Amino acid sequence: MIVLFVIIGLLSAPAFSNGSSKEPSDLQLIAEDFQILARVTNAIALQADAIRGQLNARDAIAEFLSIEKHDLDGIIGFDPQPFIPYLQKVEEDIKNFENSDKTWMEEIKNFENVSMEFEASKNADVNLSTPTSLPGDFLASLQMLIESDEAKDVSCKTTVLSPLVSFLKLGEKSEYSFEEKYILGPALTFIQKQPDAYINCIQLIMKVQKALNTSLVFQLYEDYIRMKEVISNVPTALEDMKSKIANLKAGLATSSFMWNSVTGNMSGKPMSEQISRALDAHILHSKRLDPPLAGLTVAFFRAADLLKVADDLKSPWFQKHIARGASVQNLTHALEPFNQVAKDIQLLDKPWKEFNRLDDDHRTKYKKVVAHLKYLEGYTLESLQSFAQLVDSVNSSFHNCVQQRNATFMNIYQKFQEQQNVTEELMKNFDDFREKAGKFVTDHLDDQAIENYHCFYKLRIDDSENLMNISSAVDLMSKMKKDFSECLEQYGSKTDMLQVFLSFESVRNNMEEQYSLIQRFNNITGGAKVNVTEILNASGVETSLKCLRDGPYKLEKFDDLKEVNKFLGTLNDIPRPIEDVKATIEYLQTISKIKNGLENVEKEIKSVGSRQKRATAQSEPVDNPVLALNGSRLVAENMAVCALSLWDLVMIRENRNELLTVGNFDAKTKNDLSQQGLGEFMEPEIAMKKLLGEVEAINIDAKTLRAKSLLDMAQIFEEVAKIRGILGRREILWKMLKKPEYAHNPGGDTKKLQLLVELNLDFQTYESRTKDGVFTVKALISYFDQIFGHVVKPPTATVIIEKTSHYSLFVIVGVSIAICLVVFIAVIVAYGLTKKGKERYKNLWLYYFGKPADFERRWRYAKFMDSKDDINALLDATRETNKTNLVIALKKGAYVNAYNTSGNTALHFLTKFGRYDMALELVKNGADRTLLNYKNLTPEEMIPKDYKSLPPPEDPSSELAPKYEELAKMYKKYANKKFKQRVPEAFPSTSFRIWYEDRTDEDLSNKFYEKFSSITSTELTVSTTHCIVKTDERGVLVTDDINLLIPIFHGMIIVRESWMADCLKDEKVIEEDERYLVGTVKYKGVEYNTVQMWTNAIAKAEMPFLVGTFMVVLDLKYANLAMLTRLMKSLGCEMLSEFPNLDQFNVGARPYLHANLGPLFLFHDGSKDLLQYKTELFSHFTEEQLIVFLLKREINRDTRKNPPDVVKEVPIE
């Protein structure tokens, strides 16, 4: 069949030159014919609904304008007229503002920086009045130090140390030149006379260093520097602040004419909000390719088609096939109200065409203006006037308080700067000398040998030695070094002699520099030092700051100025160019025009019904021909959809040549189409040729059918119903083309895809309507035959009915019983048709005839149905021994065999504590009496064997022996009887809480979120029921991300991404999540098929996987520790707050489900030595090992009867 259609299409190819024939095709002609019938029928249906008061005028108008009603309501949901004069005022204000002097705008840009500097300086004078000492004392202290005896002592000269150091450096050599040997003798002669000088020099250094350490000069220097910074910085900060405040004042003055534009005090919702809502609705409309298929006005492809109805009634085709010689005057008259509405809609359609789609350029303009309005609305006229008063006050205060720096101050300040430069250098040198001298003393003078200056006398040389003999001089030098070093070593020091004197020389040179700087200090200042207090007073800092603090403007209100600056700063962001405001005004004017036109149309439509009621007050409604069409809306819609399907075929035929060039797409485009759920568009070549062949075949049929009767012509719809086309939502394809890779590349696949957007190729949407096309036409023929008098009414006949009454009592009773039975069955059936009845009957069916799989299907949701705030209702009622809550939970179908975190079922727990009444409820609701708890005991075995010999308690009411007696009897009574579990309630999809991971397709996720926003969340919480994940082609979740694995262990339902795509195609698929379940996860390259095992185990609250284990963490700094702790706790593991005392644990005890492991789970990062923890009590896990352990979900049950507890006495908290 496909080949046949393709051949037909290819054979008909020569009939086309550029994609369409010069003359209308037969397909187009028959489409036009049926369009006449569709328009007339649609007009009749609209008129009838209006008369009956069943027509929602806004719905109809929205369809005429091709917009969703919700978007239309958003656009015209406010009255823009009052805002237009206001925006015109804003436009004028901005023009004036642009022409004003705006030099202040640049100046206030760095207001924040200047204000921060001022903030730091405004209280700078407060701590200057009570320093540790007056700043001026620093100079006096410095002068005192300079003039001290220690500083004046120059007995330790450079010439004393330099020859010795040179001599010692020479002594380091193994060979000497003749010149070096020649100078040895004179050097030794000089050195042998110097030991006393060396000692005096060292004593002087120590003395100077001690003087510096005890002097207050360094402490006072800090106050001096702080004062100097105040003098240098504060006046500048005050001047800058003064300038900025003047600029704020200028800004307020310049912009004052705009203050009347402030809208904060307008009544109702703010203007920006109202415009923004309309704009958002317009943007949303513009992001849609087409609105949903119209229902009320399908036959009218455009507003102008409404005007064709009057001509359609007079058309030759209508006269031939419908009226068939009858007058259409009566129908034309009846449709006059419709024709009037049609004319009114033209007035609305004209502005709407220009307004319909909002482009990005205009959207940006309007958004900018709305943002400006929103900011202005944050201020009232009163608040801006208070700004002006504030700035005036502050400006006045700064003018009065901030003193200008005069010439006297500048002269003093210049001398102060010269003095400061030398002072700073001198203090730096003092500090350097103090450090070096301290190091010399610490490194070399702490030894007793040097401290007593004993070893320095080893440098003496016997006068009898011949120092001028070269060889003797060399020997003497070696002996001198040897004696000095041995002396040092004798007193515990191994310091080399050369190093001692090199350090000695460095310190001495530093002290020499001090003398030079002191001389410079005395020469520059000439003895007349500039007192810091004097320059502080001359600067006026203290006076200015005190004046500002005590004046009318308080410095602590400085934040108010920042608000003024913020307001003025936004004026720099006013909409530019001015055309943006003008465009917004025109936008509001268009909305106003559309709103007025729409209200006129609505008024006209609503008046149709009232006029008709007045006109037919004395006659039957059937006199109006438009009211004679039964089910007019449905018939009109079906006819119009049938006609629309023909027009879609016409458009496909006209674009035949272009469609033949589409072919198949490249790999990237195919992938994009697949991601968007447009699989049939990936390789459309064969399907396209088949479709074109089908279209051409219908065109051939149309030629034959047009010559036949109307009912025969309708046979064409049966052929159209057979066409499937190429399935896929054009809107998704349209949005895909807006992506940059397509929008910026208009050629190639983009051009072909654009053609597929423009044409509707999916005919499946028309299938049901076109199948009924013949019946629709037949119904219309019957209707028009009736109103045009083509149906002859049968003559009135008189029928005489003879009444007899010969029924027996038996018949009467039998009939009565039958009637009662029928009524009873009808009530039962009627109840079954209600939502509650359907659920009730379905539960009864499952209870008596349901299979285990049916129960399991519902128990998948037990975690969410049976819990509130993550607390199992049945187990909570058991823990509280609250029978009322237990019965409520059971009636809701809670899973009755749930385990608590201690490893007991509810029946185990209640039996242990002797609650016969509650245990009986569980048994009768199907509780499994064979299940074992963590001690390998059945519920019945929880009754102590020696319960009869238990000592009586002090409170008789708490005696357990009688209760255990009742429980024992109950277990014996029902030993061989099984009870069915209650049918769990269905978990409605409205209670789903769906989360999708970041790796899922962004567009697909956004669409899914938009469609199912009520049950979808972007955050993963404890209430999440479903997690949608990205899987590979086999449906395997591949991830190493712990955040994606944690939901598995919490029992959330993990589903594939394809669920979203299928739900978007068919909303009912949301109920079929089990078709998309993920069963396998791939972690660190290894696959684990335990996902469903975890989901089911958590859903049914099976024995906690980690019951009887304790978690010990070596280091609390793990990134995921909090997440893992919550997980482990939910699985029955207990977190220890401190390292356990191992004596409290039973050796040989094992976790119930992991008899091969120790109960203490030691969590570590793999970097520590765990040798001391390698005992049978410990099981070691890194984060990765723990995840693998959980994913394997391997169980090794401890099968010992009543195995020992892990903890000897009480659990460790």
- pLDDT of 578 strictly over 50: yes
**What pLDDT, in 10s, does the model give residues 963-1015?**
888 999 999 998 888 888 888 888 888 889 999 998 888 888 888 988 898 89
pLDDT in tens, 338-371: 999 999 999 999 899 889 888 888 888 888 888 8
Specify the residue for token string 């006819």: 639
Lowest mean pLDDT across 205-219, 634-648, 894-908 = 205-219
Domain positions in the chain? 147-215+406-531, 839-973, 1105-1213
| Mean pLDDT on 1047-1051 | 92
Q: What gap in Å lies between CA 737 and CA 563, rounded to an integer?
A: 46
- Which range is most confident: 396-405, 428-437, 511-520, 660-669? 660-669
pLDDT tens-place string over residues 698-733: 999 999 999 999 999 999 999 999 998 888 888 888
Tokens, residue 816: 């009565």
Name which residue leads in pLDDT, 930 or 180. 930
- Backbone torsions φ then ψ of 1154, nearest 5 degrees: -140, 70
pLDDT (mean) for 260-288: 76
Highest mean pLDDT among 421-425, 742-746, 772-776: 772-776
Give the angle subtended at the CA of 1132 by the CAs of 1129 and 1136, to the nearest 5°: 55
CATH architecture of 1105-1213: 3-Layer(aba) Sandwich (3.40)
Mean per-residue pLDDT, 409-429: 76
Q: What is the pLDDT, as a whole number, of residue 957? A: 55
Strand partners, 1111: 1135, 1161
Which residue has better confidence, 1029 or 179? 1029
Which residues partner with 1180 through β-bridges? 1162
Confidence of residue 514 (pLDDT cuts 50, 70, 90): low
The answer, yes or no, to whether residue 619 has pLDDT greater than 60, is no
Q: How many CA atoms lie within 13 A of 267 on its CB side?
A: 1
pLDDT for position 838: 61
Residue 261 has pLDDT above 70, yes or no: no
Is 839-973 in CATH node 1.10.3720.10? no
Say yes or no: do domains 839-973 and 1105-1213 share a fold.
no
As a dihedral over the C-alpha atoms of residue 104, residue 107, residue 108, residue 110, rounded to 10 degrees, the angle is: 170
Q: What residues pair up with 1053 in beta bridges, in sequence order?
A: 1026
Peptide bond just before 577 cis, omega within 30 deg: yes
The C-alpha angle 954, 958, 960, rounded to 5 degrees, equals 110
How far apart CA 807 and CA 805 sit, in angstroms, is 6
Cβ-based neighbour number of residue 710 at 10 Å = 20
What pLDDT does 981 receive?
A: 83
**962's tokens:** 């009688």
Alpha carbon 1169 to its chain's center: 42
**pTM of the predicted protein model:** 0.49
Q: What is the pLDDT of residue 591?
A: 92
The rounded mean pLDDT for the chain is 78
Confidence bin at 850 (pLDDT 50/70/90): low
Q: Please give the full DSSP string across 519-585, using - where no structure is assigned.
A: HHHHHHHTT-PPPHHHHHHHHTHHHHHHHHHHSSS-GGGHHHHHHHHHHHHHGGGS-SSTHHHHHHH
Task: Round to whole Å and give the CA distance between 786 and 695.
Answer: 35
| Own/partner long-range contacts of 1180-1185 (Cβ < 8 Å, ≥24 apart) | 1183/1042, 1183/1118, 1183/1120, 1183/1124, 1184/1084
d(CA 689, CA 1006): 34
Q: What is the pLDDT of residues 466-507, one digit of tens each?
A: 555 556 666 777 777 777 777 767 765 555 556 666 666 666
State how far the alpha carbon of 821 is from the alpha carbons of 140, 308, 480, 1176, in Å: 123, 58, 138, 75
- Say which residue the tokens 């005190």 belong to: 546
User: What is the dihedral angle through the alpha carbons of 632, 634, 640, 643, rounded to the nearest 10 degrees?
Assistant: -110
**Longest distance between any two alpha carbons in the chain, whole Å:** 178
- Most confident stretch, 222-231, 562-571, 873-882: 873-882
Rounded mean pLDDT, 243-249: 78
* Residue at token pair 């969340």: 1017
Cβ count near 705 (within 10 Å)? 20
